[in-house]
Amino acid sequence: MIATTLTAAIAALHVYILVLEMFRWEHPRTRRAFGTTEDFARASKTLAANQGLYNGFLAAGLFWAVLEGTTTDGRPLALFFLSCVLIAGLYGAATASRRILFIQALPAAFGLLAVTLSV
């Protein structure tokens, strides 16, 4: 139950990130959240949309794992996609913003732990 809830919550988080990056990138609140200027947001809109699409793929994989059952048939899917989120979060924390460690990597690590321990 905890593994499924965490996996679904992380998937929902990535849908939210998709929306921010693909559709609301130039909005003042999104710019504040990502620490960007209006000029930068305008210039990087296509790049951000591409990043958003990747976040959507992560969300889709995590929801797929939830549908299959994170403690049964979907367990390998959950482990794979949560690992992808963890690695992306660690890389983002090392290269872009330390906040990504807490927003993305740490929840993925907890999700991996929950899926691993639920047999």
- Give the pLDDT of residue 119: 61
- Give the pLDDT of residue 5: 97
Side chain identity at residue 101, one-letter code: L
CA pair distance 88, 12, nearest whole angstrom: 16
CA pair distance 85, 106, nearest whole angstrom: 10
Residue spans of the domains in the chain: they are 2-117
Angle between helices 2-23 and 106-117 (to 10 degrees): 150
Decide: residue 95, CB within 10 A, 0-12 exposed, 13-18 middle, 19+ buried.
exposed
Q: From first to last of its 119 residues, what are the pLDDT tens digits of the chain?
A: 899 999 999 999 999 999 999 999 999 999 999 999 999 999 999 999 999 999 999 999 999 999 999 989 999 999 999 999 999 999 999 999 999 999 999 999 999 999 999 96
- Give the pLDDT of residue 2: 95
Output helix, strand, coil percentages for the chain, rounded to the nearest 5: 85, 0, 15
- Give the pLDDT of residue 86: 98
Backbone angles phi, psi at 113, to 5 degrees: -60, -45
- Give the pLDDT of residue 83: 98
**DSSP single-letter state for residue 80:** H
